[in-house]
Structure 1
Amino acid sequence: MAADRTADVLDATLRCLLRYGVRRTTVDDIAAEVGVSRSAVYQYVRGKDDAVRRVADRLHRRALTHAREAAVADAPLAERVHGILSAKVELATGPFTESPHATELFDEQARLCGDICREFTDELHSLLTTSLAAEHIDRPADAARILLATTIGLLSTGRPDLLRRATVALLGGFYDHHTAYPSMRSLP
């Protein structure tokens, strides 16, 4: 591998993880997936654990970029909150939906990358709290926890398609009953 093929190694690692899971994936599997020797893989990662962590980190960073963009968008609160929460959904959908091993990369209790997952969730909580506080939502940190828990619940029941409706409903409940709640009918 003359050129830097780190991305190729990480892409191959992800495919192996989705196919075999963390425990059953080996550096030999990754090498075969890339089409190089085992020693060539070690030019780009220290081993399987390093490759798994780097894949998890890359996926979480990508989703976090989307969440940060949503948080600062010039859009109504419901759209910004939905965009932030969608970053969590993004990790569990797409090509990951079909793999029984995908949760190993996104589980906060996972041995290899649980810390990455927790930091991601903490960052989402911070983005939500800041967005909610700017709109004068009472107890924004608690509201952010409720929104995240609802998102996780929707994912666990296989109904992330309800996220937009849940976001609108929950935001309506967070406003003080004396506050005029802006209409959410304009949301797609």
Structure 2
Amino acid sequence: MFVFLLSLTVSMITGEASQCCVPPQFQTNIDTMTSLSSTMDKRFQTARFSYDAMSKKLRTHVVAQTKEDEFDRIEDFSAGKSFTWARGICKVSSTGPFNQICIPDEAKLVRESFMGVSPNIIKLKTYMVTLENNMTELTTVGDNCTPIEMVSFSSKSPQPDGQFMRIFYNMSMGIKDSSIFTPPKICS
């Protein structure tokens, strides 16, 4: 799941210019499927992801196939700290700078489509961006740049870095309870 978080924040990071940026505050569920070519291992995880660009904080609660893969993380960029805890143990580390999640300006628009049934149609745009290590990412966004789907894959064959697919759903705008960004007592 760390790979997911890193790729979410790295792959959509922008420089100064961008195609579009996600809403400043939202909460969503994300299903992630990771397929690692080297081990033929497939992993499925579901995360509840909360994003608050205004206070520069991220919160992730991960539920996975095994208890060993479940964890919680708060990234407080304004304090420069990341808190990750699971099974009663908390690790505190430093964060880098905060970058708003955006489609970078160098991303190429490769498809415009839609989903839904009239009158509830959502217009979609899919962007392609080349990442480091020969990785390519296709990111599909809806109205107001809300993330819908992200697929990452390597141009190498076989794909040693694996393939990653993320589906976003049950998204709501705003942060309902800001206390979710408070680390638990075990992280004190």
TM-score for both structures, normalised by structure 2: 0.23
More contact order relative to length (CA 8 Å, sep ≥ 6): 2
Structure number having the greater helix percentage: 1
Q: TM-score normalised to the size of structure 1?
A: 0.23
